[in-house]
Amino acid sequence: MTAYPHLFRPLDLGHVTLPNRVLMGSMHTGLEETGDWDRVGAFYAARAEGGAGLMVTGGLAPNPEGAVLPGAAGLMSADDVIHHRKVTERVHGAGGRIAAQILHAGRYAYSKDAVAPSALRAPISPHRPLALDEAGIEKQVADIAAAAARAREAGYDGVEIMGSEGYFLNQFLVAHTNRREDRWGGSYENRMRLPLEVMRRVRWAVGPDFIVIFRLSMIDLVPDGSSWDEVVTLAKAVETAGASILNTGIGWHEARIPTIATSVPRRAFAWVTKRLMGEVGIPVITSNRINTPEIAEDVLAEGCADMVSMARPFLADPDFVAKAARGEAARIAPCIACNQACLDHTFAMKLTSCLVNPRACHETVLTAAPAARSKTVAVVGAGPAGLTAALEADRRGHRVTLFEAAEEIGGQLQLAARIPGKEEFRGLLEWYAAELAASGVTLKLGYRAAAADLDGFDELVIATGVKPRDPGIPGAEGPQAVSYAELLSGRAAPGTQVAVIGGGGIGFDVAEFLSHAPGDSPAEDLAAWLREWGVGDPAEDRGGLSPEGPCPAPSPRKVTMFQRRPGKFGATLGKTTGWIHRSTLRAKGVGMEAGAEYLSIGPDGLSYRKDGEIRTHAADQIVLCAGQEPENALAGLAETRPPGTTHLIGGALSAEGIDAKRAIAQAVRLALEF
């Protein structure tokens, strides 16, 4: 008997039955653009083996003008069909099913050839699109239908028509982007003509026995977005036009409301999909911030949807579904919704991977064959680098001892988990604990390893992490100054008027911590989160934007951040999440003072020079977040050991820009070497 009866109920689509209610949602990985189709196939085959009921590929362009970028992957030619056949064969060989997402970017295309209903530049694009004429519209519809036919020819089990997130079809639907006065604009009947024409022509092109998912924007989160009546009208019309399944899209890419970041509560938008249940006869999928089988099961059991879409969780763990089916949910590597190795990579034009699972999209590169000889391995430090190195070495058959001076595992992850909006890190810590418990690793907690303890091990991994940098400000030894570690660990209580020295990732985390009252976490209170960001009920407010706008809870204390360099704060934060941190802190009234030269810390607060003028910022507490230095006291052991058997990783190797992503990736690669 499964713990997830709704999740594991087959879904009969008429010509095919899906074994469970899990859709692996579309993700742009950048793999297709490498041209290494074996690698693309390996990525999807691993997820098919892991039990996803149905998968959707990353967005594939129907034509060059619709591509998100020049050169982006598409379904435009006979060659494309040949390449994609390698993917579908691998997936079918692994017992899976896969649909191709057809994505026309419209005005979001990063190209001067972008086309759209009207010549209105998107706020997130440098290019003004060309407004299509009648013949141009017909070409786009025909190209999308032809791409769908190619998907079928390539062996896909279906297609997903991307009608949400502010892409081409969505641009026709709303007056915000559609200012046309012909039969493609004006009334809603006219504005939905193009998506419906696309749906009808795609169905005609692929025949009846083929899955066609229509991804429909259920809450646009932009001004002049769709009303709920329009959403329902479209859903019904799309069903009539031949869709097999409706998938949920949440928010346009240009929306200034986060929809998938870690600070967004889990299942934050399932209530929106639930509104559509009963309005259509075809299955409806819900999406966004669903990352455990428990949540997926609850969402289905509560009637919010017929199926759940999860995307990033399949980067973190390709075996998500299989582990849930085996009753091993605790061993599913959790997606912490950080975006650090997935979406941030996409925007930096780098191959996608996963902070928690560096093997994602590297399936053919980071293989882990059993070691030729089982060695003894000592790992010092149970932060993300040490934990990963120990577990990976154990999986390869080595005999591993893991030393940790603290009373608990996790290192810096423990501090991250205390930041409001970063509670997902707790799940990562729990997963590491479950993996350790299931492994052969000998864990020595609360044990500060000395040189003698480490003698005789074949391999020594030093993963002792970092220590806070002392910025050397006169007076910092006084009672007003505390390190971020003292504050976040609870060794120091927060002050009432606080200056934060440093505007890097930790400075921002500390400012978030200080500007929330205890127990007030955006990620743990959906109603408060919706209020904070001004998300309204789409049935009352067009596009789901509440007329009151964002209403964050006030900060319980006065917080001001400082940095020495002039200019914008948060320049080193993630591309897809930095704006969220900046908006949150601004809304909480956190001050940001750049270009400060620190002079001293004293009972009056922080004295600094700016623009040639000496100023005092009144504060009863100054939190030092001035970066870190390696904690590498054991590094000298390398000289006493056989060459090549001592390895420094993570912050102990280099503190500059170190984060869990780099630490974990280094550990995985190292463990393959011995």
> Residue 339 binds what, of ligand SF4, ligand NAP, none (CB under 5 to 8 Å, by partner type)?
ligand SF4
Site string for ligand NAP, 546-565 (x = CB under 6 A): -----------------xxx
Q: Is 658 in the site for ligand NAP (CB under 6 A)?
A: yes
Pairing assessment for the beta strands 466-468 and 628-630 based on DSSP bridges: antiparallel
Taking CB within 5 to 8 Å according to partner kind, which of ligand NAP, ligand SF4, none is near residue 337? ligand SF4
Of the CA atoms within 13 Å of residue 632, those in its CB half-sphere come to 18
- Of residues 215 and 661, the one with the C-beta less far from ligand NAP: 661
Residue 97's beta-bridge partner residues? none
Residue 316 binding: pick among ligand NAP, ligand SF4, none (C-beta 5-8 Å cut-off by kind): ligand SF4
Which positions ≥6 away from 634 have C-beta within 8 Å?
380, 449, 451, 454, 462, 464
DSSP alpha helix (H) spans, 255-366: 270-276, 293-301, 313-316, 320-325, 343-347
Q: Which two tokens stand for residue 10?
A: 């087959």
Task: Write the DSSP symbol of residue 338.
Answer: -
By CB under 6 A, how many residues form the interface with ligand NAP?
24
Angle at 646 between CA 641 and CA 652, to 5 degrees: 130
Q: Give CA 417 to chain center in angstroms.
A: 17
Nearer to ligand NAP, 306 or 512 (CB): 512
Could you say which of 248, 628, 632, 646 contacts ligand NAP (CB under 6 A)? 628
User: Rule CB under 6 A: is residue 480 a binding residue for ligand NAP?
Assistant: no
Tracing tokens 């990525």 back to the chain, one arrives at 43
User: Could you say which residues in the range 124-143 bind ligand SF4, by CB under 6 A?
Assistant: none
Q: 133: Cβ–Cβ under 8 A, 6 or more apart, which residues?
A: none
Binding range to ligand SF4, per CB under 6 A, among 2-10, 248-256, 340-348, 393-401? 340-348
Dihedrals phi, psi of 617, to nearest 5 degrees: -100, 115
Q: Write the secondary structure of 446-473 as one string of H (helix), E (strand) and C (coil).
A: CCCCCHHHHCCCCEEEECCCEEECCCCC
Judged by beta carbon distances under 5 to 8 A according to partner kind, the member of ligand NAP, ligand SF4, none in contact with residue 341 is ligand SF4
Tell me the C-alpha distance between 310 and 298, whole Å: 14
Binding map of ligand NAP across residues 280-299, x = CB under 6 A, - = no contact: --------------------
User: Distance (Å, rounded) from C-alpha 234 to C-alpha 580?
Assistant: 31
Which of 316, 325, 419, 561 lies at the binding interface for ligand SF4 (CB under 6 A)? 316
Q: Does 532 bind ligand NAP (CB under 6 A)?
A: no
Closest contact distance (angstroms) between CB of 124 and ligand NAP is 20
31 lies in the binding site for ligand SF4 (CB under 6 A) = no
167 carries an active-site annotation: yes
650 forms part of the interface with ligand NAP (CB under 6 A): no
Taking CB under 6 A as the rule, does residue 626 contact ligand NAP? Answer: yes
Nearest approach, Cβ of residue 336 and ligand NAP (Å): 11
Applying CB under 6 A, among 154, 355, 429, 587 the residue interacting with ligand SF4 is: 355
DSSP state of 370: P
- Site for ligand SF4 contains 151 (CB under 6 A): no
**Is residue 668 a contact point for ligand SF4 (CB under 6 A)?**
no
Facing residues of 526 across strands?
A: none
AA letter at 80: D
* Active-site entry in 4, 156, 167, 598: 167
Is residue 662 a contact residue for ligand SF4 (CB under 6 A)? no
The answer to whether residue 46 forms part of the interface with ligand SF4 (CB under 6 A) is no
Q: How far is CA 146 from CA 86, 184, 202, in A?
A: 20, 21, 8
Q: Give yes or no for residue 575 binding ligand NAP (CB under 6 A).
A: no
Among 26, 88, 164, 340, binds ligand SF4 (CB under 6 A): 340
User: Are 155 and 89 in contact, with CB atoms under 8 Å apart?
Assistant: yes
Task: Establish if 335 lies at the interface with ligand SF4 (CB under 6 A).
Answer: yes
Q: What are the angstrom distances between the C-alpha of 377 and each of 182, 373, 434, 533? A: 72, 12, 20, 49
Q: How many CB atoms lie within 10 A of CB 303?
A: 12
Please tell me whether residue 205 binds ligand SF4 under the rule CB under 6 A. Answer: no
- Give the nearer residue to ligand NAP in terms of CB position, either 350 or 448: 350
Question: Which is closer to ligand SF4, CB of 299 or CB of 360?
Answer: 360
CB of 336 to ligand SF4, least distance (A): 5
Query: Does 30 contact ligand NAP by CB under 6 A?
Result: no
3-state SS, residue 633: helix
Cα dihedral across residues 656, 659, 662, 665: positive or negative:
positive
**Residues recognised as catalytic:** 167
Can you give the binding site for ligand SF4, defined by CB under 6 A? Answer: 312, 315-316, 335-342, 354-356
Can you give the binding site for ligand NAP, defined by CB under 6 A? Answer: 469, 471, 501-509, 563-565, 572-574, 625-628, 657-659
